[in-house]
Amino acid sequence: MFSRNTILTILVSALMLPQIVRAQTSAADEIDEATTNQAADLDVSAVESEMSKNLAKQKASSKASSSSVKEEKIETFSDLGKLAQFSEVSVIQKRYLPKTGRFQAFAGFTYSTNDPWFLGLGLSGKLGYFLTEEWGVELAYTTLSNSEKSSVQDLRSNQGVTTSSLITPKSYLGGDLVWTPVYGKMSLGNRKIVPFDMYFSLGAGSTSTADSQNASTMRLATGQIFAITKGMGFRWDFGWNRYTAKSIDASQTAFDNFLLTMGMSFFFPEAKYR
């Protein structure tokens, strides 16, 4: 038979057993959680370490590629294939010769290209101001000296025609509105790149003739300015002057003069915004 003490021991053990099991289970759970956290920390550390290694490899590769590009010598067109690709390409469209807010002073020699009776040579001067890169205004003056061609001498000596009554222009004074929509670059002798502007102008003025007439004149012109520096350029101008004057028989007749002018342009003040 069991003694009294044995029965008490069994009862106490039965009562304490669930708490002991619960404590053991909690301890096991804590051990498992700690193990899991430790494993996670190890995984994060491993990933960070791997990322650091990859980043270091990329930097080393970038430095090596950049140094190899610098060492490449570009001597022919085919060598361009050795260069690394550009990540970004920018195109600059600014004009080489700036004009906005600047004056242009022009002086050149003028030749009358279509006068059948006289050889018209002279000088032209222009002073303009540009409101923008495309638009400007200009004041122009041209003086011509006319010498007789052989056709006039033949009329006077062979036909007895008085040549003093022929209409010839002596000077022109007027103003133009200048539009410069075209600009670019061109090669000069495959040695030098020359920037240029191409303009069109429309204006009006007065033509003084050899017989002292002052005729209202409409003018249409075009030309180019080839930049030498940012303050100077070579300019040619081809203009069509149309005016009405009294002809030999005292009737009003329309006359056309095609004037070719070549000279130098100077821009001021100095451009500080390019």
Per-residue model confidence as pLDDT tens for the chain (274 residues) = 455 656 666 665 555 655 554 555 555 555 555 555 554 454 545 556 666 776 666 666 655 555 444 555 666 766 666 666 655 555 556 788 899 999 999 999 999 999 877 889 999 999 999 999 999 999 999 999 988 777 777 766 666 665 555 788 999 999 999 999 999 998 877 788 999 999 999 999 999 998 889 999 999 999 999 999 999 999 999 999 999 998 766 788 899 999 999 999 999 998 876 5
Is the whole model's pTM more than 0.75, yes or no? no
Inter-residue contact 171 to 207 (CB < 8 Å): yes
**How far apart (Å, rounded) are the C-alpha atoms in residues 102 and 132?**
9
3-state class of 86 per DSSP?
coil
Tally of residues, the chain:
274
For 229, phi and psi rounded to 5 degrees?
-135, -175
Inter-residue contact 113 to 144 (CB < 8 Å): no
Res 267: pLDDT: 96
For β-strands 232-246 and 214-229, DSSP reports them as antiparallel
Res 44: pLDDT: 47
**How far apart (Å, rounded) are the C-alpha atoms in residues 220 and 205?**
11
Closest residue by Cα to residue 165 from 175, 154, 178, 155: 155
CB atoms within 10 A of CB 218: 14
Residues in a beta bridge with 233: 227, 265
The DSSP code for 157 is I
First to last CA, the chain: 117
**How far apart (Å, rounded) are the C-alpha atoms in residues 219 and 256?**
10
Mean pLDDT taken over the chain: 79
51 CB-near residues (< 8 Å, 6+ apart): none
pLDDT, tens only, 218-241: 999 999 999 999 999 999 999 999
Res 250: pLDDT: 74
Amino acid code (one letter) for 46: A
129 CB-near residues (< 8 Å, 6+ apart): 102, 103, 104, 136, 137, 138
- Rounded to the nearest 10°, the torsion over CA 56, 62, 65, 71 is -100
Res 240: pLDDT: 97
CA distances 58 to 66, 85, 105, 234, 244, Å, are 12, 17, 58, 53, 79
